[in-house]
Structure 1
Amino acid sequence: MSLPEKGRDIEDVLAEIGRLREDDLPVRGGQVTAYVYDTGRPEVHEAAARAYFEMLEVNTLDPTAFPSVVEMERQVVGAVAGLLGGGHGVFTSGGTESIMLAVKAARDSRPVPGRPRLVLPVTAHPAFHKAAHYLGVAVDAVPVDPVTFRTSPAAVEAAITPDTVLVVASAPSYPQGVVDPITEIAATAAARGVLCHVDACVGGWLLPWLREAGAQVPPFDMSVPGVTSLSCDLHKFGYAPKGASVVLFADPALRRAAYFASASWPGYTIINATVQSSKSAGPLGGAWATMQALGRDGYLELGRTTLAAARRLREGVAAIDGLRVFGDPDSALVAFGPDDPGGQDAPDVFVMADEARRRGWFLQPQLSYAGIPANLHVTVTGVTLRGVEAMLEVIAESAAAARRRGPVELPEGLVELVAGLDLDTLDDAAFAELAAAVGADLRGGSGQPEMAVVNAVLDALPADRREAVLVRFLSVLYSSTAPA
């Protein structure tokens, strides 16, 4: 892009945005089962959009300049604390920032003699690894049960050292939608004098409504003894516009440890409650308006429909020949794959994902890791019930089509070639050519690509090589050297 010499007509600019979005996945309707959350109520989304626009240019950097920010945040955080057992919170841009602040607060409030360490299940969200990387904290990952996918309190306890500053449990973990044994893990952490964070980014604003709708939901929130912080995303099952999240702390002192202040310069006062400094109050306004528009009755009704859809999806997938649901999800996240991964008649989940896309549905592929086989993931939302039978039909058709096509056959030696590449010697143009040779189109804006070969290559690599390859993928996607 080059900056136009003269300003363009606004209608032309907006029309171009429409053209740019032609190949985007749809954000409404429920056929995209990841990344977006749809109530199925257009009037709620409209209210949020209008409130977002109203607060768009308000800067949260200085709350004394914009008192509306303080009042809205008090109300939003208060609602989250009221639903989730209390606490003192901060409104953030999303789960990653909430997690970053929780790790920072733990590190800074409990200094240790060595390098601070973080104990978490292998199913914990990578945002914890990101926070640890940014903040200089070491990660000790513990396994989960291969059948239930929950971590063991005993394994957590064994991983705690004198330098452990935080223990993490998920409510639920994203990959299989199961809640870790929070009560036992928090008690174990407390007995060792270690803080305990519950990652309820995806479940915090969902599990209470599922419980009220009749689901069996184990204790997980700030009311559980030993839980010292909790993250809850409102742009997930709170249905607010991105990015909206809240991190709760057990007491004001721990919350203060998440803050950052600097007086080491001659400019304006620097005191930040979040990682970001200047930021729009639009997301805060959108979250506040969404919560006001839905209210308890609205969220409870969405909980009922979500619970019904999740149960129907699990039941329907289990009835499809050769497929099984992974674990016993406590939430509205459902992962499924072949009964016999690698078996002669087992459908390749990566081929299934491409077949579903061809039919207009996005099912999220998950790579194998820590003994958990590759699978497909569905996030059930408030709108899913309307289309759950159509989704099940697509899953069955995609499984049958994947069986007919057979598993992905990678060229001989390709995985070894990629695993042995010195990526530092390849510039983005060379990497783009290599990607194109295995069917990965990095140009962007070219329709919905087939990803089975790419996912199969990634799945065959160890985690560290996957990460290195993914970094290069991202670099090329945003580079002018991507093939035309």
Structure 2
Amino acid sequence: MTAHHNDTNTDTNTDTNNDTDTDTDLDTFRTELQRLRSLDVPTHGGSTFAYVYDSGRPDVDGLGLEALAMFGESNGLDPTAFPSLLAMERDLVAMAGEFTGAPAGFVGTVTSGGTESILLAVQTARDARPDVSNPSMVIPSTAHAAFHKAAHYFGVRAVVVPVGADHRADVDAMAAAIDGSTVLLVGSAPSYAHGVIDPIEALGRLALDRGVRLHVDACIGGWVLPFLDTAAPWNLGVAGVTSLSVDLHKYAYTPKGVSVLLHRDPSLRLPQFFACADWPGYTMLNSTTQSTRSGGPLAAAWAVTRAHGRSGYAELARRAHRAAVTFADAVPEPLEVVAAPESTLVAVASRDPQVDVLVVVDEMQARGHYVQAQLAYGDTPATMHLSMSAASLDVIDAVIAALRESVEAARELGPVTVDPGLAEAARSLDPATLSDADFDGLIALAGLAADGGQPALPTRMAEVNALLSVATPALRERLLVAFLDRLTR
């Protein structure tokens, strides 16, 4: 978990009297919106390395926002009422298919984001096999957490297989995990945590041999890898790949939230659709998990992708990749890059226990560069994660200089330590046995509560993340759920 490095009061309890009259000054609300927006990390400038992506083209960004507003009140629920959205969706799917090596006859659907695309891929694989009473999917341990969410939602058991020493899917281990309940295999291009591409060709052969579907999660790489000469085979052009997801609100640089889920042919996609006529209202017909969905993000994506075009995206991809490689090559001792960046992602660990990478994350954020902490998992230590954008190349020298300063500051501060008794408790506590009051106490111990016990966003996260790192994944999940619950009350 990460937090924004500011001390600004985030109280949003403003006067929202619904009885306003025509004399209301709307600029008052615009001013308040600007104040609230100032609390957030910047979405442009190239120094926010998580959650947002910056092309460095404000003119194209402006076009996207115009389209977002123009179609914000349209509704993708019914294409007969809004045929414009259907036309734009077809165009987006066609471009995604072109970029990802889709064969003739492929089909696709625009979704709200990568998680929804993954959810639909899992749901479709499940519903395509009604003969399997207890379906499962075989996924590498580096597969995105959205697959675990899909398992939770749809009752498709996730069989998690450890990856190899190179952080890539272990094909032999995945083959051994397949049984009669398996309805889906998963590979990443690349995996989010380490930025490496799974052996998709070998997974495709395995999928064909065993007669199961193979989904490639290219949500973060699918709009970059087509333009990098170094990319290993990864897309729908690989035999055995039946579906692929790619997010446009990442490296297509469109406003949130737009993703595309592609299937090799219509028969593979058909179980994705939902229809219900067994009620007295309109016949519900959905291609995604949503019914009503604003046409704004779709229209914005259509406009932005047309404005950049293939040649524009080729240059943007090269710039983002160059930023990743430049940064990785400059990482100072005792930090080390976990894996050479194959796309735009860089994960950095520390070889020296006296230079705590979680402290480095805080120090980078204090210097205006928003990077992401990834907590320790299994044999993998905690890491600092950066998703480079095209605009990051313009500031990469300043980022590298800030990293060197942050390493020295972390060395002077020393590592974050967790009280041994608290660490042992974090490793041994069963979250199922804890009461609401127990979680209140743990939230306070984790440093996630302000005076009076109310939850608060901390300005530095190293101490919090150090405690979360020693907790079991189950306790970590429950503690953060409890914090989110209280934060949103």
- The TM-score range, normalised by the shorter chain, is over 0.9
Is it true that 1:166 corresponds to 2:184 in the alignment? Answer: yes
**Cα distance, 1:337 vs structure 2:** 1.2
Whether 1:151 and 2:163 are equivalent positions in the alignment is no
Distance 1:421 1:224, change over 3 A: closer
Q: Which runs of 5+ in 1 are unaligned?
A: 480-484
Say whether residues 1:399 and 2:413 are aligned partners.
Answer: no
State yes or no: 1:242 paired with 2:259.
Answer: no
User: Counterpart of 2:482?
Assistant: 472
1:110 partnered with 2:129: yes
Helix, strand or coil at the partner of 2:173: helix
Q: Where do residues 120-199 of structure 1 align in structure 2 (5 Å cutoff)?
A: 120-146=139-165, 148-199=166-217
What CA deviation, in whole Å up to 9, does each residue of 1:111-138 have, x standing for no partner? 3433100101100000001011100110
- What secondary structure is seen at the aligned counterpart in 2 of 1:376? strand
Match of 1:420 among 429, 442, 452: 429
Distance 1:239 1:99 in 2: 20
Query: 1:34·1:378 contact (CA, 8 Å) conserved in 2?
Result: yes
Name the SS for the 2:187 alignment partner: strand
Q: Distance in 1 between matches of 2:158 and 2:27?
A: 50
Write out per-residue CA displacement over residues 43-100 of structure 1, whole angstroms, 9 at most, x where no aligned residue.
0110000001111000001111110011000000111011112221000000000011
Q: Distance in 2 between matches of 1:28 and 1:441?
A: 31
3-state SS in 1 of match to 2:250: coil
Q: 1:101 aligns with which of 120, 128, 134?
A: 120
The alpha carbon displacement at 1:308 in A equals 1.7
How big is each residue's C-alpha offset from its partner over 1:181-226, in whole Å with a ceiling of 9 and x where there is no partner?
0000111011000100000000011101223xxxx11111111000
CA distance in 2, matches of 1:394, 1:192: 50
Residue matched to 2:394: 386
Relative to the length of structure 2, the TM-score reads 0.92
Q: Which moved more, 1:432-441 or 1:133-142?
A: 432-441
Equivalent residue, structure 1, for 2:299: 285
Q: Which amino acid aligns with 2:17?
A: P
Output the TM-score relative to the length of structure 1: 0.93
Query: Are the counterparts in 1 of residues 325 and 341 from structure 2 also a CA contact under 8 Å?
Result: no
- The equivalent of 2:64 in structure 1 is 48
Aligned to 1:327: 339
Deviation of 1:476 after TM superposition, in Å, equals: 1.3
The answer (yes or no) to whether the contact 1:121–1:144 under 8 Å persists in 2 is yes
Divergent runs of 4+, >6 A: 442-446
Matched, 1:81 2:94: no
Q: Report if the CA contact (8 A) 2:455-2:486 is conserved.
A: no
Q: Secondary structure at the match of 1:128?
A: helix
Amino acid in the other structure paired with 1:440: L
Aligned pair partner of 2:284 in 270, 278, 282:
270
1:451 and 2:450 equivalent?
A: no
Which of 439, 460, 472 is residue 447 of structure 2 equivalent to? 439
Match of 2:79 in 1: 63
> Which of 364, 373, 388 is residue 365 of structure 1 equivalent to?
373
In 2, Cα distance between equivalents of 1:353 and 1:284 = 34
Partner of 2:8: none
| Partner AA of 1:330 in structure 2 | E
Deviations 1:371-408 (A, max 9, x none): 11111001011101111111111111111111111111
Counterpart amino acid of residue 204 in structure 1: G
SS in 1 for 2:185: strand
Q: Distance in 2 between matches of 1:108 and 1:423?
A: 32
- Asked whether the equivalents of residues 448 and 456 of structure 2 are also in contact (C-alpha less than 8 Å), the reply is no
Give the aligned partner of residue 482 of structure 1.
none
Q: 1:397–1:266: structure 2 CA closer, same or farther, 3 Å change rule?
A: same
- Per the alignment, residue 4 of structure 2 pairs with none
Counterpart among 225, 229, 237 of residue 223 in structure 1: 237
